[in-house]
Structure 1
Amino acid sequence: MFGPYLLLQTLGEGEFAKVKLGMHNDTGEEVAIKLIRRQSVDNTPRINKIGREISVLRTIRHPNIISLFDVIETERYIGIVIEYASGGELFDHILAHRYLRERDACRLFAQLMSGVHYLHSKHIVHRDLKLENLLLDRNRNIMITDFGFANQFDSSTRDLMSTSCGSPCYAAPELVISDGLYVGTGVDIWSCGVILYAMLAGYLPFDDDPSNPDGDNINQLYNYILATTLVFPDYISPDARDLLRMMLVPDPTKRCNMKRIMSHRWLRPYAPMFQYSIEDLEVRINGRYCITRILGPTVTLLTERA
């Protein structure tokens, strides 16, 4: 047991944490619990990263973003209790189908854009968007997770940041080739472009350098991106290509913004999704939020009693 939860199988494992499936002892609801060993976060940067992740999760509530239910601390562990995405990683879903049909990719990408636009509207940038950090619920809807690199910005100073982070194959070129500040929202847009390309093509857009096939040499990877024209497999439609050419622009000053993405003709079938205000999104009632409202207070009370 961990607090009021029965710990079940391991869902994933990272350098400093392990994610377990948990079941609430009273309600039977399934959750995911990110268990972080206290001894592995014995320095200030790691502690700050965990605190930032929890802080961000506490401020967001969107149908396509993982919900935070509780934070439980023991002598040995910090446990971040979040919503369980039973559909697994989007990465595995794409592998199982080789690539996604455009109709399916369009729906998932619209959900991703709705979630990212919501984050940016709340002055939050994710900075580590990649297939492995996009989960699917039981109805195959996108759920954005892993906010360890997320950061908040002050609207009065724009979203300029200096910390280089993220996964190399998804990270924007300016994170490596620039020594100065970068625009956080633009970095998220680049990563979303890589994700869309992978959905439609079945592989990443810049992983075909024969001298650097795994992207291990970061500087070589970004020089390759700067020097290589974006190409597409034949089965990607002209409209999808047009959107990708707007997003995967190495020069951040020429890269499209979120407004242009959401108004693009390829996403027109889901245009109504982008009309919701922050308030609309945060009060929408659906199955996920019913669970949040029922489970969240119960967990908090049980934790306080413990």
Structure 2
Amino acid sequence: MEPFTLYRRQPQGRRSNTRHIKMGPYLLLQTLGEGEFGKVKLGIHTETGQEFAIKLIRKETVGYSASRLNKVEREIHALRTLKHPYIVKLFNVIETEKYIAIILEYASGGELFEYILAHRCLKEKDARRLFAQLISSVQYMHRRKIVHRDLKLENLLLDRNRNIVVTDFGFANNKQDDLMATSCGSPCYAAPELVVNEGQYAGSAVDIWSCGVILYAMLCGYLPFDDDPCNPDGNNINQLYRYILSTPPSFPKHVSKDAQDLLRQILVADPQKRYTLDDIQHHPWLKPHS
């Protein structure tokens, strides 16, 4: 299942006066995002007035596919397992004849992707704070034996205080011995071993690579690797990974030496030589948040 891009916000304005649908005690308002199996709606609890993001999965789109249903169940399991300040909170799951409704925390600050676009790139002190929050949440996931496998800017939201909220656990999986075999995620954020190596890979190392791509984008305002920089519409995954394996990341002049060093230790094609989460947390660049 391709997970929802949660909270891809629609143009703001006055709330519509059209008739709204109720889902249990929640009043469903405007659509925040859409996915393969349904929509994400802004919901209001009719008694408390609290806002929620309500992910509606149409049962007919899941159908009788065991693999699709398994992914929905894995996502709900991950959300129920994880309780962390920088991971989206699950409040409830409601099942009706037509829908599975997942009641989630509403992150009113929108996508980190949009926030970076608005600022072109982030100041290092801001990127450092958000990256420290991301690493804290990923380390917590891994300690709870869960890997995300689809970390990217679009799956990182901001709350009203501009803190990170990690979302979209549609590709999440349990890691018992940390070895996995299913290739998934978004190509520009996915570790090269997902494509280059045949067989199993370490799920935790894949998440760490994605964190490095996210940090690079925060500091530079663009992604470190592209399949064809001269062709924005290009989509050649094999060419992309050949480029990753043969080309070390380069940096604009405004990125500090410590930040460059940290990224060079994370964006290492060989997962055995890639920094671990503990290595990242003890790097000098993150010292203010150690």
Structure 2 residue aligned with 1:256:
275
The partner residue of 1:177 within 183, 196, 209 is 196
Structure 1 residue aligned with 2:261:
242
Letter in 2 for 1:103: K
1:191 has 2:213 as partner: no
Contact 1:215 1:221 in 2 (8 A): no
1:24 has 2:45 as partner: yes
Offset at residue 15 of structure 1 (A): 1.6
Identify if the C-alpha distance between structure 1 residues 60 and 215 changes in structure 2 by more than 3 Å, giving closer, same or farther.
farther
**Which structure: greater helix fraction?**
1
TM-score by length of 1: 0.86
CA distance in 2, matches of 1:23, 1:98: 33
Letter in 1 for 2:238: N
Contact 1:212 1:220 in 2 (8 A): no
Contact 1:106 1:267 in 2 (8 A): yes
CA deviation profile, 1:81-137 (whole Å, cap 9, x unmatched): 010000000000000000000000000000000000000111110000000000000
The partner residue of 1:9 within 16, 26, 30 is 30
1:70 has 2:89 as partner: no
Q: Which runs of 4+ in 1 moved over 6 A?
A: none
Structure 2 residue aligned with 1:122:
144
Offset at residue 215 of structure 1 (A): 5.2
Unaligned runs of 5+ in 1: 272-306
CA distance in 2, matches of 1:246, 1:112: 17
Structure 1 residue aligned with 2:186:
167
TM-score by length of 2: 0.91
Letter in 1 for 2:195: V
Q: Which moved more, 1:206-215 or 1:90-99?
A: 206-215
CA distance in 2, matches of 1:219, 1:211: 16
Count the aligned residue pairs: 268
- Equivalent position SS for 1:99: coil
Query: What value does the CA root-mean-square deviation take over the aligned residues?
Result: 1.0
Letter in 1 for 2:60: Q
The partner residue of 2:114 within 85, 92, 95 is 92
1:33 has 2:36 as partner: no
CA distance in 1, matches of 2:202, 2:49: 43
Structure 2 residue aligned with 1:146:
168
Identify if the C-alpha distance between structure 1 residues 55 and 242 changes in structure 2 by more than 3 Å, giving closer, same or farther.
same
* Sequence identity (%): 68
The partner residue of 1:226 within 245, 258, 262 is 245
The partner residue of 2:129 within 96, 107, 111 is 107
Contact 2:227 2:235 in 1 (8 A): no
